[in-house]
Structure 1
Amino acid sequence: MWRNLALLFFLCTCGRAQVALAQHQDIDFSAEVSKARTFINSTVEYSLVLRNAQGTDLVPPAFRDFIVLRGPSRAMGTTIINGVGSSHLTHSWLLQPKRVGELTIETATIVAAGRTYRANSKTVEVLPVDAGAAALAPDDFLRAELSTDTAYVGQQIILDLNLYSTTNVISRNLMQEPDFAGFFSQPRRQYDGRPRTVIENGREYQRRTLGSLALFPTKSGRIRIDPYRMVLGTVRYRNSSTFSRRFTEQIPLNTDTLYVEVKELPQPRPADFSGAVGSYRLDVQADRDQLTTDDALTLRIIVTGEGDIERLDAFPPVSDKDWDIYDPVILQEELLDSPSGMLGRKIFEYKVVPKRAGQYDLRPGLTYFDVDSNRYVTNAPAVFPITVTGGTGQATYEIDTLSEEAAKLVLLPVRDLPAGRSYGSATASRFYYWLLFLLPLLGAGGALAWQAYRARQAGRDPAEVARARAAQAATQRLKGAKVHLDAVAPRPFYDAVEGALFGYLRDRFNLSVAKLNRRNVSATLRDAGADAALAERYDRLLQRCEMALYAGQDQADDLADTYRAARELIVDTERQVE
């Protein structure tokens, strides 16, 4: 009995110790600064963040090289991600540096869950103020930034459109964007759009990424990227002797013209080169490890990588000396967005049949051009030992090769005609003879009718043709939204709805891309004779799409209502606008 009690006490003690250890492992205490570089006349925010605990006895740094302008201020919060909750307690100070140089903020301590935690030290680089350079620097500017300006054909390049501002920006209207001739372009959504404080040209700017693209060069040479053009709305104040008046200033901005030097892949290329360029990973699955010469082995190969997945061709997974290799089936080909760039994925399914019995070590490999090492590499991650035994000669598989054998020419022997038959025929008395005789005349009449129809179509007003096609085009676009609605994919759904509405309005009213924004849409509808309620419905629905795409309000419970509202908008527009 005493032995059992001792064992029970030991297990309870160990369990409590493990729970306490797990709790301590989740607790984190760290220091953060709002910017790593600043000017002597600027400020920096310093924060101490305690996660998953309630702390006491906080001992902050001494701040010897800084003037404390405000603080400490305290804030608490809770975050729930995938059903797992976490809490944080933040103490913040607003600091102004006393001198120029590398200034160090020492460590801080706090007591949580019976233990003392120490936060890391932080270093801030303080720069002198160059009044001359700062006076010449613009208040706001737009810059298109490339991840690299030299690449190979098919290599992924990330282009970020960044806005640098020192003013209070209240509106942004993109007037023109490049056509990216010579590239396959793919918009990205998983990029960091949070504002960051950076130092450029002797001034502090808030840098915000407005958009991001993945570009894949399709040809070699020096490829030009034309500028983006944008109109920025900023808040200004005009002071007089008696009052200050607030107004909005429209500032035109544009990026510089960029050039990318694109090179062809080095020669000679390996015989088994798949055409892929970038960095790739291979995952191979085999359906069995034992079979006979009557069986077919199924290999499923999943290729994932940062590159143009469409350039990846089918490649032989095994040696054709020992195996008959049939053309693969492409089960999936897609581009996936990620914070680091676009990821391509392609899934092949091969059927291979052994030519003879034996032991085989299969090692399917992908040969591609690696842009990091600038050389051709082969990725063969796994070896599959396969045992093949002799069969009966009767195949147990069916493979549709989609091939047809050419019919052989066979000369038949001459035979005598049956009694009562003779050579020759009275075709002139048959119906099909006259049908063939009149066929050219019918064809000529049809050609004349077709030319008359084409002439009438060519004489139609282009605007009328565009309006006639608008509803049909919008219906086609909403089909894409219906697919995402059925799959309950909120972000792609709202993206498709917004694109369908803007595309319909562009075709219906002959609008340019630069005028496709909510304010211009309302004005265009009113000018066309639509009532104010219709314009307001467009504004509400487009605002709903923007909130879902850019503010994270992409709930899945109102997708059906949004889809129905988009369809009704298009129908009501056709009824009201002539």
Structure 2
Amino acid sequence: MKKAFFLAAVLLAIPVWTVAQGLSFSASVDKDRLEIGDQLTLTLVITGNVQKIPEPKIRNVGDFALYASGRSQNITFVNGVVTSTTQFNFVLVPKKVGTFKIGPAELEIDGKLLQTMPQTVTILPSGSIPKQRAPVPTEAQVREGLKDIFVTASVDKSKVYVSEQVTYTVKFYQAVRLFDNPEYYPPTVTGFWKEDLPPQTSRYETVGGRRYLVSEVKMALFPTAAGKQTIGEATVKCKVEDLDALFDRDPFNVDLNQFFNRGMRERVLRSNPINVEALPLPEGNQPDDFTGAVGQFQMKAEWNKTATQVNEPVTAKITIWGTGNVKSIAEPKVSTPQNFRVFLAGSSERLTREGTRIGGGKTFELSFVPREPGSFSLPPITFSYFDPAKRRYVSLKGQPLHLTVTGTRELAGGYSGITQKELDVKQTDLRYLKKELGDEHGSFVGSPGFWALQTLPVLLLGATMLMRRVRDREESDVSYFRSKRASKMVKKGLKEIRAASQLPPAEYFGRLHKMLLEYLGDRFNVASWGMTRGEIEVLLNSNRVAEEHKVSLLELLDLADRARFSGWQPSLAEREEALAKAERVIRTLEGSR
């Protein structure tokens, strides 16, 4: 009764809200020393009476990968003045060891530019900072202490093969009401390729006789190297209600700010890190055509025709699909048949999520170009993968092709399509128009027109030879063909991306990411699908790409990953800036050929 009387008295005493004068903008980090591979949280806080707050811009984050992790807003009432506090959270992952400055962050409101102080952070080598982690509460501990909230993490398998899927699950248990949605920070997964497994699910569970709302997040992980790999700690930040702390105080000595925040407490929960043992793939009985694929797959190889002409390609469309590490599927190994040229004409990738399993497929198009006529038997396309469930290698085989090739074999000089019969000149083919050439009205023989007609066939033959040589080089020199194609394809890709500016961020930056990888693959004649960031950096270094251009390319790929996986919502101006940056880098690389 006393509490109810006090609450009514406070509510009647509330005066009309007034406008707060002035704004403040501050920045802070949750840690100023961390190891490479760890992450930190940058928090930006804007305080004042303002309703619409744009997204802040953070300068000087080139040495970190930046991911937006949500915003929250709180309104307080102190001494008759309403104050709005808006908080932006960002996760930063360092790229190298050293001491760096983050920021300043900038925010423009009503023409006024606000700016924070830069934050200084020291990045240390891995293993430099001793770890002290609290254990996750057991069910007995929960029953004894009746925890209001807690978080757990688990994996479906603790021992797997390299490139075999591990399903990682984080559960957030909640028995009290929260002020807003909890903020989830995924663990660091160095040594794994990862894919999120949406959507997040919620259900009720009873633990220790207490009913909890459980939110569950899953992630698919694939170890990239043998040995012990560690999944870092997952973090959940939330604000919980604490009414008892408010009403246990003296009713005549209550802070109104605490009253309207209803005894709010901020909690930070962390899961335990988890070790996973990655077993190396067995080397015994490894097929010669094995390229690293792990999972359960099927293959279909189709030929587009059974008859062709000399120098006209026959295309094999190879589709490989199933469940497992699709990124590990590489171009099938094909031995080049005698009297044929073979090159990769194109490839595509499709990723699917069926429940908690990652799957999908890849399609490759291989072109076989015959050099001479005849009947040929092309060997079947083969593909081998490692099945972790069966613990053995599995080989798949398509059908051979019986091919009929017509046309003219290339002459020793390198020309095709000109038969010896066409080169023979018979004496009976010569016909004289006049027995004697008169010059009564001027003779055509010896005139400029006459010599022009005599020279024209030679010029046409020379042009044909040049075109034939260029075509031969394109068909026989895959590196030259792909490098020449790179410029044309990237211009087309940039044009298509510019026209698709209204697409969702994940799809828009997904196209930009794909275009950049395909350009690097064609430009440097490598299979770019599935390349890691480290492999891309090695590729750029080996081809002596200037440091500033290499950094720009890696930043673009990081930006694309951020839009694809972190839920970041870039503005139209930020999209155009990213596309313009890609154009500048590509233009520079093209100019350095």
For the aligned pair, the TM-score class normalised by the smaller chain equals 0.3 to 0.5
Q: TM-score, normalised by structure 2?
A: 0.43
